A and B are shown apart, each in its own frame.
Chain A
Amino acid sequence: MRALDDVSLGLAAGERLALVGENGAGKSTLMNVLYGLYRPDAGTLSVDGAPVVFRSPRDAIARGIGMVHQHFMLVPTLTVAENVVLGAEPTARGLLLDVQAAEAAVEALCARFGFQLDPRARLGELGVGARQKVEIVKALHRGARALVLDEPTAVLTPDEADELFAVARRLADAGTAVVLVSHKLKEVLAFCERVAVMRRGRKVAELKAAGTTPEVLAAHVMGEPPPPPPPFQPATPGAPLLQLSGVCADGPQGRPALKGVSLRLCAGEVVGIAGVDGNGQRELAEVVTGLRPLTAGTLEVRGKPLTAGTPAAFRTAGVGHVPEDRHRHAMVGSFSVEENLSLGRHRVPPFARGPWIDSAGRHAAAVLEMERWDVRPRDASLPMQVLSGGNQQKVVMARELSLDPAVLVAVQPTRGLDIGAVAAVRAQLRAHAARGHAVLLVSLDLEEVLALSDRAYVLYGGRTVAELPRAQFDERRMGRLMLGTEVDRG
């Protein structure tokens, strides 16, 4: 498949253009072509009306193109000024790095565009919002006349996002063309003048932002209206299986990520956790599977407290886990499919006989499960890593559900899967709850939470800020709760 197919796009000085589309629609590929990281098979690139060929980012930079990558391209051990000038260093007497000139350049750019940055600060000590400003200053220092912002608000708080757009607007007013790559349609319409829509490697629409509604834009992004979801069978909740109250936990850098999460899952229910990325979802999923210790609060599985548990203890207590990053957390890529299917239950029949692996029993069980889940190709001895993402996820789901866990924690279970696999995975989650178990669905995709859940909590700033039964599901209101712009009074 072509990542990009016959795409034409123009950009004028001082213009604010948006590039929208789903994951995999070709937005990033297009921008990487523009930045000289990929070379197009056909077609031309012109700057100021003259055709150019970018062999590396160096060529793109020389032509005034700057890019702020979604994952920051910064060196934590260097100072702000050093990061800014890296690769385009001011020198004194030939070789010498001119630190004063670098710091002065950063200060001048900050003064001009109203940033607050200390050029001498070590980058590793800065927060996410400040790091993004360093990225922008870095591009401006290279004389960027066109600035690409790739999913810039994915990691920002709403306030930081507002500040970013204010800065970007000032840049555009000063004549810099700004390209915003995003799938958040509301911010796109709020900030940009013109919107280009990508779908499956093609540019399918180009609209003026003024007068376009998010709904119209969404229709262009999706192509056809999404297929009607299967009829929803509401649950009759039974006994509570998982209960959290006042749970706190630290994030990866030791900073508090959960600051008071209280929730309850009952038998028969799918409970969704809605929230913008970076509000504690990852830590919550790790806490309820034993991968991350609590710093405060209580956690009970089927009425038994499990505060200082290991992953093994949580599994024994009946918690299954379909993690977000299956490559890292759910599968061993170089192991065969049957070995992966056995992990976690490899010590019991039919996978083992005493201390020995039961190869024949394991193989038979694996073949059976691969048939039930329609895993392809149906060869249990293949290394897991050669399977497609959808089939890998089916293997992981098959293993986790085979243990019949009372509580299944599923994090972004359909991310990156094709439409058929998405439907299969969703149906299995509902079916698992219908068998009298509970499913905790953690997803950044609000639509998925709304489609699957009997009940939902909104996670904001590491706290459960609202609890909503299905009858009160309201996309707009939940969106505001997720952004912290509305406080639940219910």
Chain B
Amino acid sequence: MLELLEALLASTLDYAPALVFAALGATLSERAGVVSLHVEGLMRTGAFVAAVAALSLPTPLAVCVGMAAAAAVAGVHALLSLRLRADQVISGMALNLVALSLFSFLLEARFSPTGTPPIAQLSRHGLPALEGVPLLRALNGHTALTWLALALPFALSFLLYRTAWGLRVRAVGEAPAAVATLGVSVAGLRAACVVGGGLLAGLGGAVLSTSTLDRFEQHMPAGLGFMALAAMVFGRWSPLGAFGAAVFFAAGNALRVGLASSAPGVLAVVPQGVLMALPYALTLGVLAVQGGRGQAPAALGQPYDPEHR
């Protein structure tokens, strides 16, 4: 039993970081009032660019390159939605489609239709002291990014709720005009959050190709970006809530995969597909119960026009 739990925990910790980073990225951008449907595309960007960069660079550096690429894509979203006042949903979907087709094209043009050649994965660490502790030893054998995924939600929460900058971010997502009359740049603040969100979502993508696997695969991130959005909504647009939801979804996935291999009998009763639908169905349920837009920032998706307050 204990071994099963440990395996489950280890598997969750492998699966969760990508979801956590992406959900945090979406949360940051949406708290500032900018819709983040482009997270899926950002993850794909991060995953692809990090994998390709890792072919010629040390993997940790490649991860940073992937993050930077995703941030650049997020910058396009900021440009379109903040400066050119494109519809944020449309801009986000357009970027998803571009990322989908661009990296499929580049992948097949440069490598093979299925994926890049293998790269050196990020190294895995462990604390020798934990080895003897039941359950907790599952924390060992993960990359540094897993540890970061456990710490970053608290850091982002601190940033949003305890710092002056965070206060401004929360305010700009609720009432941008109020922020503008205090002489703070609405577009600047929002652009910073969108690009910051891009870095985080790009990191989430890079996890997939440098830690979870050792290459970029054609279908990455296969809808994880949308599940990150679900985690954000489920977590009511707060970093810790999104973290909790992401880990919950990851644990559900680990359980499902674990059951498939160790207790296939269970899956005859509750089919795989039904289990896979659960995170999304749960999110819908939460929204339906809360009604309205749940806890979404009041100014989410509304372009701010300084001349028509």
Contacts and interface: CB of A to CB of B under 8 A. Distances in A.
Given A69-B181, A87-B179, A87-B184, A77 B164 contact: no
B159 to A, nearest CB: 8
Contacts of A69: 181
Interface residues of B, number: 23
Q: Which among A67, A72, A77, A96 has the greatest number of chain B C-beta atoms within 10 A?
A: A77
A246 B184 CA distance: 49
Contact of A89 (B164, B180, B181, B185): B164
Residue among B170, B182, B306 with most chain A CB within 10 A:
B182
Given A57-B183, A86-B168, A86-B171, A75 B178 contact: yes
Nearest to A90: B164
Nearest to A36: B183
Contact of A76 (B177, B180, B298): B298
A71 B309 contact: yes
A271 B145 CA distance: 72
A57 B174 contact: no
Contacts of B181: 35, 37, 57, 67, 69, 73
A161 B264 CA distance: 73
A56 interface: yes
A431 interface: no
Nearest to B159: A95
A59 interface: yes
B154 interface: no
B170 A77 contact: yes
Given A71-B309, A95-B163, A57 B171 contact: no
B175 interface: yes
A78 B170 contact: yes
B105 interface: no
A74 B175 contact: yes
Nearest to B177: A73
B182 A86 contact: yes
Interface string A112-129: 000000000000000000
Contacts of A91: 163-164
Interface residues of A, number: 30
Given A77-B174, A78-B170, A87 B162 contact: no
Contacts of B306: 37
A378 interface: no
B135 to A, nearest CB: 35
Nearest to B164: A89
Interface in A81-110: 82-83, 85-89, 91, 95-97
Contact of B164 (A73, A75, A83, A97): A97
Nearest to A99: B162
A56 B164 contact: no
B147 interface: no
Nearest to A55: B183
Contacts, number: 75
Contacts of B165: 95
Contact of B180 (A57, A60, A61): A57
Contacts of A87: 168, 179, 182-184
B36 to A, nearest CB: 19
A56 B183 contact: yes
A61 B163 contact: no
Contacts of A96: 162-164
A58 interface: yes
A255 to B, nearest CB: 19
Contact of B174 (A61, A78, A95): A78
B122 to A, nearest CB: 30
A97 B167 contact: yes
Nearest to B161: A97
Contacts of B115: none
B178 A86 contact: yes
Interface in B223-269: none
B141 interface: no
Interface in A255-302: none
A78 B177 contact: no
Interface in B250-302: 298
A56 B182 CA distance: 9
A61 B170 contact: no
A143 to B, nearest CB: 13
Contacts of B171: 75, 78, 82, 86
B32 to A, nearest CB: 13
Contacts of A89: 164, 167
Interface in B176-215: 177-185
Given A57-B181, A57-B182, A58-B183, A75 B163 contact: no
B183 A78 contact: no
Given A78-B167, A97-B164, A86 B179 contact: yes
Nearest to B163: A95
B60 interface: no
B178 to A, nearest CB: 4
A4 to B, nearest CB: 16
A72 B174 CA distance: 13
A92 to B, nearest CB: 10
A472 B168 CA distance: 55
- Residue picked from B164, B170, B177, B184, most chain A C-beta under 10 Å: B164
Contacts of B182: 57-58, 61, 73, 86-88
Contacts of A61: 182-183
A207 B91 CA distance: 55
Leading 10 A-B pairs by shortest Cβ distance: A58-B183, A87-B182, A89-B164, A73-B178, A57-B183, A75-B175, A73-B181, A75-B171, A95-B163, A75-B174
Given A56-B185, A78-B174, 9 more contacts: A35-B181, A37-B181, A57-B183, A58-B182, A59-B183, A60-B183, A75-B175, A76-B174, A87-B168
13 contacts: A37-B306, A57-B181, A69-B181, A74-B175, A75-B175, A75-B179, A76-B298, A77-B174, A77-B298, A87-B168, A87-B183, A97-B162, A97-B164
Interface of B: 162-168, 170-171, 174-175, 177-185, 298, 306, 309
